[in-house]
Chains A and B, each alone.
Chain A
Amino acid sequence: MTVKVFVMPKRSILDPQGVAVKEAVHHHGLPQAKSVRVGKLIELEIEGTPDEASLHEVCRDLLSNPVIEDYELQIVN
């Protein structure tokens, strides 16, 4: 099965990369963009069906840093 993990900087934390991208988006002709945040998408191909608890453990301990980031799990199939 495929698991997608979306990792995003917490809203409370300054994301300078997002701010820079927002400026570029404005210059590119979309001044309506109010906010941009840059995160990452990590895709895992997994054999069989792991239990959700161990998926969350990997997300919490390795794939994201709970001090600065939130993650979201999406099981595709």
Chain B
Amino acid sequence: MRTAIVRFPGSNCDQDCFQALAALGYDPHYLWHKEDSVSGFDFIVLPGGFSYGDYLRCGAIARFSPVMKSVIEFAKSGGLVMGICNGFQILCESGLLPGALMRNRSLHFVCKHVGVRVEHYTTAWTQNASTGMVLNIPIAHGEGRYVADAETVEQLRRERRILLKYCDADGATSDAGNPNGSVENIAGICNAAGNVFGLMPHPERACDPLLGSIDGRVIFESLLASRKVQKVA
């Protein structure tokens, strides 16, 4: 799958994404944020980092980078877009996903492996997982507390768009298992059409046994598998 990893000034997980995707059989390419086209790509990744130094708000300035206009068009026409960490913040700022990501409840930057529970296995992003499966994936953010009004959260729940939730060692989505104070322990959501996925955890940092966990693979493998089925059909 021909994949664009968008590099903004301040992106710093672009190489992690490249390594992980290349090892899993994707065909990744870097795409500078000043490019104005995403044509020829099947999949766009907005990687983690601190685009524009997190000035104003995380993702607020990156959202207006030249490339984002075509990323938004691509997403609106059904193209696959994934935002990880700062990429998730950019997706929320750009309106492709609802809600916003705010300062962690603890005010601390949290960098550790956490339990993340898969809530629905029926999407392209999770189809190789099973509902309730707990993934051990690192987070690394200071502003990852997902916030949305009650109506939006209810809509996300009703439409089964909350794909990942933080959980404790027992797999329960308890307050103790919530590293940043996100509403409903939300760690990752998708848009109504299911083609745009944003998450704070870093699955690309959990694809190589050297890094302590390979639980992130299931997300990228799901997406590859979903594309193969589509092609056969």
Identify the A interface with B (CB < 8 A). 9, 13-14, 16-17, 20, 62-63, 65, 67-68
Return the CB mask of B100-114 against A: 1 if under 8 Å, else 0: 101111110000000
**Other-chain residue from B57, B60, B105 in contact with A14 (beta carbon distance below 8 A):** B105
Which of chain B's residues have a CB closer than 8 A to the CB of A62? 56, 60-61, 64
**Other-chain residue from B60, B61, B93, B102 in contact with A13 (beta carbon distance below 8 A):** B102
Is A67 touching B106 in the complex (CB atoms < 8 A)? Answer: no
The CA of A16 and the CA of B107, in the complex, are separated in Å by 7
B181 in the interface, Cβ–Cβ < 8 Å? Answer: yes
Q: Which of A13, A16, A20 has the most CB of B within 10 A?
A: A16
Is A13 touching B106 in the complex (CB atoms < 8 A)? Answer: no
B172 in the interface, Cβ–Cβ < 8 Å? Answer: no
Number of interface residues of B (CB under 8 A): 20
Return the CB mask of B54-68 against A: 1 if under 8 Å, else 0: 001100110010000
Which of chain A's residues have a CB closer than 8 A to the CB of B106? 16
B12-54 CB contacts (< 8 Å) to partner A: none
Which of chain B's residues have a CB closer than 8 A to the CB of A14? 102, 105, 181
B214 in the interface, Cβ–Cβ < 8 Å? Answer: no
Is A20 touching B56 in the complex (CB atoms < 8 A)? Answer: no
B133 in the interface, Cβ–Cβ < 8 Å? Answer: no
Which of chain B's residues have a CB closer than 8 A to the CB of A13? 102, 147
Is A68 touching B56 in the complex (CB atoms < 8 A)? Answer: no
The CA of A11 and the CA of B89, in the complex, are separated in Å by 21
Is A65 touching B57 in the complex (CB atoms < 8 A)? Answer: yes
Which of chain A's residues have a CB closer than 8 A to the CB of B64? 62
Q: Is the interface of A mostly helix, strand, loop or mixed?
A: mixed
Known: A62-B64, A67-B100. A16 touches B147 (CB 8 A): no
Which of chain B's residues have a CB closer than 8 A to the CB of A17? 103, 107
In the assembled complex, 11 residue pairs joining A and B whose CB atoms fall closer than 8 Å, in A order, are A13-B102, A13-B147, A16-B103, A16-B104, A16-B105, A17-B103, A20-B107, A65-B93, A67-B99, A67-B100, A68-B147
Which of chain A's residues have a CB closer than 8 A to the CB of B56? 62-63
Q: Which of A20, A62, A65 has the most CB of B within 10 A?
A: A65
Return the CB mask of B68-109 against A: 1 if under 8 Å, else 0: 000000000000000000000000110000111011111100
Q: Which of B93, B103, B106 has the most CB of A within 10 A?
A: B103
Separation in Å of the A72 CB from the closest CB of chain B? Answer: 17
Is B100 touching A65 in the complex (CB atoms < 8 A)? Answer: yes
Separation in Å of the A27 CB from the closest CB of chain B? Answer: 16
